[in-house]
Structure 1
Amino acid sequence: MADRRLQVFHAVAKQLSFTKAAEVLFMTQPAVTFQIKQLEEHFNTRLFDRGHGRIALTPAGEVVFGYAERILGLSSEMDVRLSELTGEISGSLMVGASTTIAEFMLPGILGEFKSTYPGVRSRLIVGNSESIENRVMEHTIDIGFIESLSHEPNLQCEVCCDDELVVICHPRFPLARHKELTPQKLLEHAFISREPGSGTREFTENYLRHSGIALDQLNVVMELGSPIALNGVVETGLGFAIASRASVSKEQRLGDIVAIPLKPRLIRTLSMVYPKEKFRSRLVASFVEFASVRLRALISKKTA
């Protein structure tokens, strides 16, 4: 129901970038620029100052932004309230998840949820934990699942379940003969890391620091943006990685990868994030409850 120009303006104001807003909205940059131009012509004033590769809200833009936040929020709430008068859980559900959760945990859960509530149309957005948090704050997704605790003051964070990170390597890699590994034993071997912004990487680095390991001591030979890609490189025997046990259960069964616990154990929490003080529809609330139960059961099964 909300004016599309206002939705585009809101995204640009949040990102302070036409390029990033286009990515979030799944639009081309010229289309975003055109919508902003139309809105500025409508109000007969500039909403953004542009210069030196940066943009900033003008005083008029600040006023429009304040109203846009309220208008878009109320529009979304109105749509949901009216759809819920039917008594059925239905509508569009925008879910974001960091890559490990999206690739190995959520697909089955979304499928089960669709079977339970046929009127729901789900869309899954995949990115690292940092990008998912940003999209939740921009209100472009309803709820996010990340591989760490959120420290963003504008987000509500709820713990879903625990997930163990383990050392993974080829069965003939030198580390494979150990039943458990201290961080110090990892330093002499090639390390395959996740990309900056990854929840897995952030949690691993914090663990190593607390264990007295300086990050520049690690022999990082490659950085990868996907747990599937990580598994593929580890299977070649190039080096070891640290990954969710749940992400290698299939490879373990096939004998392609060995998973070795760290000492002390490396346990993290998987979390849900959503905007504070934002209206939560019955659809979103139902999915949160459904997914929490299924995630705990899935983690227990894969780590048994």
Structure 2
Amino acid sequence: MAQLENFRLKVFRTVAEHLNFRKAAEHLFLTQPAVTLQIKALEDDLGTRLFDRAANRVSLTPQGSLLLVYAKKIAALVSQAEQELGSEDGKVSGDLPLGVSTTIAQYVLPRLLGAFLDEHPRVQFSLHSGNTDEIVHLLLDNKLSIGLIEGPARDRGIHTEPFMQDELVLIMPRAFASDRMSHDQLLASNLLMREQGSGSRRVVELALEKAGLKLKSFKNVMDLDSTEAIKSAVEVGLGIGFVSRWAISKELELGALKVAEVAGLKVDRHFSLISRTGPEPQGPAAAFRTFALERARLLADPARKRPRSARSSR
């Protein structure tokens, strides 16, 4: 289906949301000069300045702020029209701004998207990745239709629905002699954790506290900004860390990492689909929500069946 939204208005809305011409250009797959040209043409048509540019900072003028209110309403109406027109032939179509927290984006989403797009090829995704707090913020700011997160969403304006179970496991270098670890051994280790705001970190902290273990009791705690960084650091012997089973299937198959059990400590969680409280999602967002809630549980976790290489050095 052709894009119904006025192109210059779409460029304006994108720049206004990013307040950065370079980032807006990247989002729109345009060059920065092309974005600047579209904004200048729109300002000339309207006879008013929409942005103030000073000292490498971009801000909306009062006229720009007013136009943004209407631009968002127009974009929402266009999206609704596209969805209703597309639904006449029984097929879901339209744009779906989807926010996904980091672990889900890297290890789970590709499977979900592939299966979903097989059934709904006319849906166009705009993906935003970040930690749980960042995705919640984008959703509340109306920049996303729905989100997929790893940790709990505490905001009252968020509706949460679990769609898949996950387990965070303790990984260690393959040279470690055993696949079990005592509390004393755990506390004597360098613990590698995700950054503040990460859903994974929040879940691990709660599980440790439930087992009577506190972060301040560890020999050392190092914050890293991704699961991949934790895996790499563990592989070279910098410490141990908790990661999703979804993230380590290849490493277990290759014997690059080991999984250890800690007495009295099990870190289970649910991946959750989040939306704003109020009216239920419509169009592509509703279709994806139904798909995730009904079908995601059927996806096999490739790391659930631990390969022999993960046990062989016992």
Q: TM-score, normalised by structure 1?
A: 0.78
Counterpart in 1 of 2:296?
Answer: 295
State whether residues 186 and 218 of structure 2, in contact with CA within 8 Å, keep that contact through their aligned partners in structure 1. Answer: no
State whether residues 169 and 242 of structure 2, in contact with CA within 8 Å, keep that contact through their aligned partners in structure 1. Answer: yes
Q: 1:78 deviation in Å?
A: 0.6
State whether residues 104 and 149 of structure 2, in contact with CA within 8 Å, keep that contact through their aligned partners in structure 1. Answer: yes
Structure 1 residues 55, 267: CA separation in 2 closer, same or farther (over 3 Å shift)?
A: same
- The SS at the match of 1:191 is strand
- The SS at the match of 1:145 is strand
Equivalences for 1:1-304 in 2 at 5 Å? 1-91=4-94, 93-120=96-123, 125-133=128-136, 135-136=138-139, 142-151=145-154, 155-173=158-176, 176-178=178-180, 182=183, 185-195=185-195, 197-205=197-205, 213-214=214-215, 219-220=220-221, 223-225=224-226, 227-261=227-261, 263-275=264-276, 280-298=281-299, 302-303=303-304
Q: Deviations over 1:171-192 (max 9, x none)?
A: 3236x4425x54x753422233
Structure 2 unaligned residues grouped into runs of 5+? 306-314
Distance 1:231 1:223 in 2: 10
Distance 2:107 2:154 in 1: 25
Structure 1 residues 31, 190: CA separation in 2 closer, same or farther (over 3 Å shift)?
A: farther
Structure 1 residues 141, 62: CA separation in 2 closer, same or farther (over 3 Å shift)?
A: closer
Q: 1:137 deviation in Å?
A: 5.3
| Aligned-CA RMSD value | 3.6
State whether residues 83 and 90 of structure 1, in contact with CA within 8 Å, keep that contact through their aligned partners in structure 2. Answer: yes
- The SS at the match of 1:86 is coil
Q: How many residues were matched structurally?
A: 300
Of 64-73 and 199-208, more deviation after overlay is shown by: 199-208
State whether residues 189 and 218 of structure 2, in contact with CA within 8 Å, keep that contact through their aligned partners in structure 1. Answer: no
Structure 1 residues 169, 235: CA separation in 2 closer, same or farther (over 3 Å shift)?
A: same
Q: Deviations over 1:88-113 (max 9, x none)?
A: 23455554422321222222222222
State whether residues 166 and 243 of structure 1, in contact with CA within 8 Å, keep that contact through their aligned partners in structure 2. Answer: yes
Identical positions, percent? 36
State whether residues 188 and 218 of structure 2, in contact with CA within 8 Å, keep that contact through their aligned partners in structure 1. Answer: no
Q: Deviations over 1:12-33 (max 9, x none)?
A: 3334444444454444444444
Decide which structure has greater helix share: 1
Structure 1 unaligned residues grouped into runs of 5+? none
Distance 1:110 1:217 in 2: 39
State whether residues 205 and 215 of structure 1, in contact with CA within 8 Å, keep that contact through their aligned partners in structure 2. Answer: no
State whether residues 170 and 235 of structure 1, in contact with CA within 8 Å, keep that contact through their aligned partners in structure 2. Answer: yes
- The SS at the match of 2:248 is helix
Distance 1:271 1:9 in 2: 33
Distance 2:289 2:131 in 1: 20
State whether residues 97 and 132 of structure 1, in contact with CA within 8 Å, keep that contact through their aligned partners in structure 2. Answer: yes
State whether residues 98 and 146 of structure 1, in contact with CA within 8 Å, keep that contact through their aligned partners in structure 2. Answer: yes
- Counterpart of 1:287 in structure 2: which amino acid? F
Structure 1 residues 155, 49: CA separation in 2 closer, same or farther (over 3 Å shift)?
A: farther
State whether residues 171 and 257 of structure 2, in contact with CA within 8 Å, keep that contact through their aligned partners in structure 1. Answer: yes
- Counterpart of 2:285 in structure 1: which amino acid? V
State whether residues 131 and 198 of structure 2, in contact with CA within 8 Å, keep that contact through their aligned partners in structure 1. Answer: yes
Counterpart in 1 of 2:312?
Answer: none
State whether residues 234 and 240 of structure 1, in contact with CA within 8 Å, keep that contact through their aligned partners in structure 2. Answer: yes
